[in-house]
Structure 1
């Protein structure tokens, strides 16, 4: 009987072993393929975690099962990273069925790639950098069945932080005055890790974001503020600005021949970037009354954009006049109705230009192109006219080159036209002290546009205003004042020791006048004649 019991136990063990080798079941499922042995599309049920101690997977004393972490849906980039300093990206694939082919596209629609043999992972070399890059993946099996389009994004950051100087002295500063420098340090990818500011061997406190450094009552000399920044990938960048403090003056004399033609050439520089979408919607109505105020003058009007790069509508090129063929310049001989509609619709830009707005640079380049008689700009600026620039933008000048500088702009106009042309620069901007605008539709304070308008006696308007009628009228009246002005080569110093003397045809001319920056503005139109202006400027 004992032997019989042992045999029964052995037979039971053998039977149990057979069941375990068959996966624990007694009959294989009969419908786990599509008839051609391709794998079904439904994913298998998740397997519970069996734990590390080999214990029960049921709901016993261990508190129940722990689910195994699921694989990423479709694919992942760099093991789930969302930011990288390399454009060579590691892709791991997790198809929903047994895949034979994989397609990788550098877009969000799986439309630009081509199918290649499936591998579990591979590297993808992106053509993009310093931006958020989309990748999409699609799978296909041997029968031609394709998966949904899986999309992931990763930010590729291969540049150090961006440093932009917004406010700094663009001309010599008188000794003993305070100097203010405003700049920003940003990094949209990895983020700013550290910022260092040095004036010679002296460190100045600064940080990521917008900085304002004040240098109080400086002595004479040359000063350089150097800003260095590093991002969290240890990528670095550096920029500096140099200014001069002096207590010395130079004596100036300027000869100007005045005619009575009342000619003025007006250049509109319009911000066509994406941030101006709100203002652009009603631009035509906002400037509708401009031509009413300049009526009676011999005017020409042209339009360019703040985009520094576009090969058709940027870099100072004049844009086509709306509703007219091969015409880039409006003039006072046109009917009021045609000119008013054409100007409004030309200013209301349909395209989305560069976010790297450079309005002073665009005006500078537009003048260069006109003097060179280049294509669309030919014949815009006449030799015997005055010049007015009207800028409309919700951001500041975004670069720091020589052609972005207010003082250099005035100097260029004076040099290019031998001191014979008066110039005024009017700005409709987010004014630096306008908190309501800056927290609303105004993207950033227009420090340099404010500076160039003050330098040339121009009007400074509010880009956030719902109606530009009042300030456009002020600008148009400012354009008229340009015809009564003499633009000097530098801002004159007027004090107890220094004055400004005007001669007409060799005799002292005492016509009432005011000084607005570099412009001497007379109350009345100047009589025709040869004028000499004596004044003093800082060196």
Structure 2
């Protein structure tokens, strides 16, 4: 028995010496014969270099797998990609810019037809041709206009179907003005605007002394009389720049000494107009020719103070004031053209 053990020991020593000299077999690590667990392989494992006889690190040794184990050897030289593959969305172009230049402009003239307005109406009519020519020459992208005139009462000189506050003037002191060129109760670019406005704007001075310019304006913008078959049908488009021109020497609104005034106040007037224009206040221009403190035409009586109208006007980014007593409205309208042009350039098309 001792000899057998000694013989086995000598055999083992020889075998180990042979392995040291490279005579051992080349079983793959992790095979049953080697007894090596591949998950416990160390990074010091080497493989023979067939060209030099020296040893070099195996480039595939200890590559981490997504399971957290390592591999030694293997036939593939590619490392496994860690994590999900990337997604190539390709080129995503920018959204096209929104064209914000207006192509339609609607004018609403609110003209006081009470007994003190004769000179002011004549001034307005005399300066309208240059005003509208300047608009058409300046707003090069605009190809469609609507122009409507309303008064500060129910206007009995009008045709029978248009006797409502905020109804468009189709017949005035100048006689029958419409229907206009396109068969509507408002003017368009198809009309000779200088001629037709001189008729519609001549509303006279026999109207009620209890003027309600702001209520008339709000109701016109809200299209109160604009259903099919009504006086204002088709007037004021939702996708147009709206220009409101108010000319009155009336106080109007809260605190009116005469006690009869438009419903609401400057804030409610503003809110009503903006709501009717898709909540886009910058799509509205307001020019008010009135008496107001700090302006060229300060009020002389309590009944002619345009304080409420001034407050309403100045709530708008594109709102400005002019003195109703000015002898020539030409310079005021020249300033208005610049404001309207700027508003048109920055027009925001309503959504929906």
Per chain length, whose mean CA-contact separation is higher, i.e. which structure has more relative contact order (CA < 8 Å, sep 6+)? 2
Structure 2: segments with no counterpart, 5+ residues = 1-97, 256-260
| Partner SS for 2:333 | helix
Counterpart position of 1:303? 149
- Cα offset, 1:437, TM superposition: 5.1
- Cα offset, 1:477, TM superposition: 2.8
How far does the alpha carbon of each residue in 1:478-505 deviate from its partner, in whole angstroms, 9 at most, with x for none?
233332346xxxxxxxxxxxxxxxxxxx
How far does the alpha carbon of each residue in 1:235-272 deviate from its partner, in whole angstroms, 9 at most, with x for none?
xxxxxxxxxxxxxxxxxxxxxx7654421111000010
Cα distance in 2, alignment partners of residues 387 and 370 from structure 1: 17
8 Å contact kept, 1:288–1:469: no
Cα distance in 2, alignment partners of residues 275 and 304 from structure 1: 17
| Partner SS for 2:219 | helix
- Cα offset, 1:355, TM superposition: 1.2
374 and 476 in structure 1: CA distance in 2 versus 1, 3 angstrom threshold: farther
Cα distance in 1, alignment partners of residues 246 and 337 from structure 2: 13
Correspondence 1:392 to 2:258: no
- Cα offset, 1:448, TM superposition: 1.3
- Cα offset, 1:390, TM superposition: 0.3
8 Å contact kept, 1:397–1:404: no
Cα distance in 2, alignment partners of residues 484 and 435 from structure 1: 30
| Greater fraction of residues in helix | 2
Counterpart position of 2:188? 331
* 1:214-293 equivalences in 2 (<5 Å): 260-293=101-134
* 1:76-115 equivalences in 2 (<5 Å): none
- Cα offset, 1:403, TM superposition: 4.4
Counterpart position of 2:38? none
Counterpart position of 1:407? 267
Cα distance in 2, alignment partners of residues 379 and 358 from structure 1: 23
Cα distance in 2, alignment partners of residues 467 and 435 from structure 1: 12
| Partner SS for 2:169 | coil
280 and 384 in structure 1: CA distance in 2 versus 1, 3 angstrom threshold: closer
- Cα offset, 1:273, TM superposition: 0.4
Counterpart position of 1:372? 227
Counterpart position of 2:321? 460
435 and 476 in structure 1: CA distance in 2 versus 1, 3 angstrom threshold: closer
Cα distance in 1, alignment partners of residues 239 and 350 from structure 2: 14
| Partner SS for 1:264 | strand
- Cα offset, 1:286, TM superposition: 3.6
344 and 473 in structure 1: CA distance in 2 versus 1, 3 angstrom threshold: farther
Correspondence 1:438 to 2:299: yes
Counterpart position of 1:347? 201
Counterpart position of 1:476? 337
How far does the alpha carbon of each residue in 1:44-90 deviate from its partner, in whole angstroms, 9 at most, with x for none?
xxxxxxxxxxxxxxxxxxxxxxxxxxxxxxxxxxxxxxxxxxxxxxx
8 Å contact kept, 1:397–1:448: yes
Cα distance in 2, alignment partners of residues 324 and 292 from structure 1: 20
Cα distance in 1, alignment partners of residues 244 and 119 from structure 2: 23
Cα distance in 1, alignment partners of residues 164 and 113 from structure 2: 10
Structure 1: segments with no counterpart, 5+ residues = 1-256, 487-525, 531-539
| Partner SS for 2:125 | helix
Higher Rg: 2
291 and 313 in structure 1: CA distance in 2 versus 1, 3 angstrom threshold: farther
| Partner SS for 1:301 | strand
How far does the alpha carbon of each residue in 1:203-234 deviate from its partner, in whole angstroms, 9 at most, with x for none?
xxxxxxxxxxxxxxxxxxxxxxxxxxxxxxxx
Counterpart position of 1:319? 169
315 and 293 in structure 1: CA distance in 2 versus 1, 3 angstrom threshold: same
Cα distance in 2, alignment partners of residues 333 and 355 from structure 1: 35
Of 184, 207, 213, which aligns to 1:359? 213
- Cα offset, 1:313, TM superposition: 4.8
417 and 468 in structure 1: CA distance in 2 versus 1, 3 angstrom threshold: closer
8 Å contact kept, 2:106–2:237: yes
Over aligned residue pairs, what C-alpha RMSD do you find? 3.3
8 Å contact kept, 1:269–1:390: yes
8 Å contact kept, 1:307–1:315: yes
8 Å contact kept, 1:264–1:387: yes
Cα distance in 2, alignment partners of residues 420 and 436 from structure 1: 31
8 Å contact kept, 1:430–1:443: no
